[in-house]
Amino acid sequence: MSYEKPFAGLKVVDLSQGIAAPYCAMLLAQYGADVIKVEPLEGGDWSRSLGVIYGDHTAYSIIGNVGKRSIALDLKAEAGKAVLWRLLEGADVFCESFRTGVVKRLGFDYATVAARVPRIIYLSVSGFGQQGPLAERPAMDPVLQAYGGLMADNKGEDGLPHRVPVIPVDMSTALYAFQAVSAALYARRDEQKGRYIETSLMQSVAGLQSIRMMAMYLEGGTMKPGGAPGGVFQTADGWINIAIVREWEWQNFCAAIERPDLAADPRYANKNLRIENSVPLYAEVRPLIAREACAYWSERLIEAQVMHERLNSYGEFLQQPQVEATGIITWLPQAGVPQAVPVPNIAGAVPLQPGTARAVAPTLGQHTAAILGEHGFGSAEIAELAAEGVIRKDTVVAAAAD
């Protein structure tokens, strides 16, 4: 182990699909673990079919799987289950995200796996949790945005609830799961047995919204703004976000927009009064902001030490000098994808380097033959598994050609 690869030497068997659990396992790989992704023969992880498809990849499958190795395996066949048991020998972490009950029917529930691999850290990620009336329902990020209040709270200027498009429930579930698995691996040093970790999209959407949910509850369902004026304002050439929280920021803002009379107006003497009188206040501020370009306002607000930023598209964000200076993005080529793709570097991990194992998302079953060989399968056994349709024949043929 080292700071560069704190999870070096750990083996992770990842049966999960989608984004939440796969992204958790991807983080383990980025910190040095050997992550073996076990995928269905036909189509693989269903994230490979989300959105625009490039060969075996989509944006979802790349982000969720960089740094892993893939084996395509038929787990409905007894021979496929026997292969999975071989993979689990000496494993440290097992990840699954099947609907409740499915993994038990396959014969790889926690009790069964732990009986053979006592020190396993077993992660189950589901939509609604493993118990309760909704436990067996399938779910994705938008479903939990709706169920957990996030969508209803995210009303646009049209007054309609809107989905947050960056899959915050999936991503937060991945981060919470990674936190739990990392803590369990740390504690396992002094434990004789592993443990079962359960998390869900439902639990994560609650955790993600903990502050706002609590405030809405305490404030009777309508949360007061943190300050005023604030939010998104149209400028002469785009949009700008301005955040005013402290009183001195309000005073500086009034000076920056050359309206000291607003600072002296008793209707706006403190935050609560500004929120109470927000209609006339915004009627004064919005037309004024709209007269000048974003760059003009940015220069003045920087001088006034008022928090703000121009609204960028993703393309504009990736081109920002600050992004380049901090090195938070690495551009990585991927098989079948026509151009290098921007992949954020992981906090605390060594920045990604194009062409290295950590920087490549596997194609479906790409490492089947190699993984089987490492687990004691001879060439004749591998050929037999391919002939029986337990593994993908094309991946074995490709490996032999290499």
pLDDT digits (tens, 9 = 90+) for 365-398: 999 999 999 999 999 999 999 999 999 887 776 6
Query: Rounded distance, CA 20 to CA 174, Å?
Result: 5
Reply yes or no on whether the pLDDT at 282 is more than 60: yes
pLDDT tens digits, 25-59 = 999 999 999 999 999 999 999 999 999 999 999 99
Work out the burial of residue 193: count CB atoms within 10 Å of its CB; fewer than 13 is exposed, 13-18 middle, 19 or more buried: exposed
Q: What is the pLDDT of residues 98-152, one digit of tens each?
A: 999 999 999 999 999 999 999 999 999 999 999 999 999 999 999 999 999 999 9
pLDDT, position 397:
62
Cβ atoms of residues 85 and 171 within 8 Å? no
pLDDT at 399: 58
Phi and psi for 202 in degrees, rounded to 5?
Answer: -65, -45
Q: What share of residues in the chain are helix, strand, coil (percent, to 5)?
A: 45, 15, 40
Write down the pLDDT at residue 222.
Answer: 77
For the ranges 198-207, 222-231, 369-378, the lowest mean pLDDT is seen at 222-231
Asked whether 123 and 197 are in contact (CB, 8 A), the reply is yes
Q: What is the mean pLDDT of the chain?
A: 95
Q: Is the pLDDT of residue 400 over 60?
A: no
The residues of the chain that CATH labels 3.30.1540.10 are: 231-311
Q: Compute the half-sphere exposure of residue 143: CA atoms within 13 Å on the CB side of its CA.
A: 11
Residue pLDDT, tens place only, 307-362: 999 999 999 999 999 999 999 999 999 999 999 999 999 999 999 999 999 999 99
**DSSP code per residue over 224-266:** PPSSSS-EEEEETTEEEEEE--SHHHHHHHHHHTT-HHHHH-G
At residue 299 the predicted structure's pLDDT band, cuts being 50, 70 and 90, is very high
Which structure tokens are listed for 382? Answer: 């591998």
Q: Which superfamily, per CATH, for 11-211+326-401? A: Crotonobetainyl-coa:carnitine coa-transferase; domain 1 (3.40.50.10540)
CA distances from 178 to 136, 197, 393 (A): 23, 11, 34
- Mean pLDDT on 80-103: 96
- Which regions of the chain carry the CATH code 3.40.50.10540? 11-211+326-401
Judge contact between 169 and 150, C-beta under 8 A. yes
Higher pLDDT, 226 or 59: 59
Angle, to 10 degrees, between the axis of helix 393-401 and the axis of helix 379-387? 140
Buried b (16+ CB within 10 A) or exposed e, 75-85: bebeebbebbb
Q: Please state which CATH class domain 231-311 belongs to.
A: alpha beta
pLDDT score at 402: 54
